[in-house]
Amino acid sequence: MELRQIRYFKAVADASSFVRGAYYLNVAQPALSRSIAKLEDEVGQALFVRHSTGVSLTDAGERFYRRATGILDSVKQLVDEMATEDSDFTGTIALGAPQSIHAKLLLPVMAGFLARYPGCRVDLIQGSSSYLRDRIAAGDLDVALISNSASTSGVMMTPLVNENFCLVCPRERRGEFADTVSVPDLVGLPLVLVGYPQSTLAYLEAAYPEVTRKLVVRSEVNSSALVGDLVERGAGFGIAPSCVIGPERAERLSFVPIAGLQASWAIATQWNRQGLRAIREIHEMLLSLVADQVAAGEWPTARLPEAGDTHRA
């Protein structure tokens, strides 16, 4: 039995699917299926029940999952302990971020960290904030940039930056709007919103119930980056944080801050891992990058949070 087989087993169990497990692991599904089949042969029992919507653990699978989680946690702890005793960082750091924010913050920090510490490997995972928060809590990720919303037990949240939700529009139509717009100004516009797993519409309904019922929602998508894609193709106007408009889109898209609607980003780490040197270094690099971008006016809708806002869930 190989450690890789145990990692593959846990990924499939967490995803309840061979397809999603292969996606998260970035491996081919046939190779993943063969590895699991070999593992089941070695333990002499079926670990999964296959069905039309994915897979579920058998009783043997449940027992194996508990032991596998302990083994992987022990291996990761051993690697981390060896890294902190060394004069330089070694081992692997797993970072995560939603697609909408990774290019603005996580990629520059990841590249800088790799250049500074050549003995350390850094893996990058994209996903929704809720997915990444769960992976932090499970110990599968070391650091993630996520929306600073509902917390999860065992996750330390360090507020990073606040920014306005914006009306995302084609650049040639920016002149139709004032410096800012209000939620009532959105009535009548064909809108593209993030709907899954965190619904912008539900957020609007809670804050502006009467106005929200009058909005024209043409599409809900599961990524802020997709909002920008659809606006570029003329599907309507988006509601998203301004960070979805990266440099590659600045010639085609523009944004108008929406008064009273704020998005907050935080650095999430598992509480019992926040003392590791490598993680502290990444924290500092992220905080410094955001402060520099705000000071230079490169993130015009962003504001730094108040000091001392770190909290444990």
Encode pLDDT of 152-199 as tens digits. 667 888 899 988 889 999 999 999 999 999 999 999 999 999 876 667
| Mean pLDDT, all residues of the chain | 84
| Predicted local confidence at residue 313, as pLDDT | 40
Alpha carbons 111 and 8: distance in angstroms, whole number = 27
| Residue labelled with tokens 């790799």 | 114
Beta-bridge partners for 221: 194
- Interior angle at CA 157, CA 156 and CA 163, nearest 5: 170
| Predicted local confidence at residue 168, as pLDDT | 92
| Predicted local confidence at residue 81, as pLDDT | 62
What does the chain come to in residues? 313
Residue 65 has pLDDT above 70, yes or no: yes
| Predicted local confidence at residue 169, as pLDDT | 93
Alpha carbons 13 and 24: distance in angstroms, whole number = 12
Encode pLDDT of 240-295 as tens digits. 888 777 767 778 999 999 988 888 889 998 777 767 778 888 899 999 999 998 99
In terms of Cβ atoms closer than 10 Å to its own Cβ (0-12, 13-18, 19+), residue 298 is: exposed
3-state SS assignment for residue 198: coil
Q: What is the mean pLDDT of residues 114-142?
A: 85
Q: What is the mean pLDDT of residues 200-224?
A: 87
Residue type, 301: T
Residue 11 has pLDDT above 70, yes or no: yes
Alpha carbons 94 and 23: distance in angstroms, whole number = 16
Return the beta strands (E) in the chain as ranges.
48-51, 54-57, 91-97, 120-126, 143-147, 155-170, 190-194, 216-221, 237-241, 253-270, 302-303, 311-312
Alpha carbons 175 and 166: distance in angstroms, whole number = 15
Tokens representing residue 63 in the block: 């027992």
Q: What is the mean pLDDT of residues 3-23?
A: 86
Q: Do residues 120 and 111 touch, judged by C-beta distance below 8 A?
A: no
Alpha carbons 66 and 125: distance in angstroms, whole number = 24
Q: What is the mean pLDDT of residues 213-238?
A: 90
Alpha carbons 193 and 237: distance in angstroms, whole number = 9
Q: Do residues 305 and 161 touch, judged by C-beta distance below 8 A?
A: yes
Entry pTM = 0.65
**Domains recognised in the chain with CATH numbers:** 3-74 (1.10.10.10), 88-161+265-312 (3.40.190.10), 163-262 (3.40.190.10)
Residue 310 has pLDDT above 50, yes or no: no
Helix, strand and coil percent figures for the chain, each rounded to 5? 50, 25, 25
Beta-bridge partners for 162: 264, 303
Alpha carbons 248 and 201: distance in angstroms, whole number = 27
Cβ neighbour number for residue 210 with a 10 Å cutoff: 9
> Alpha-carbon dihedral of residues 149, 150, 154, 155, nearest 10 degrees?
-10
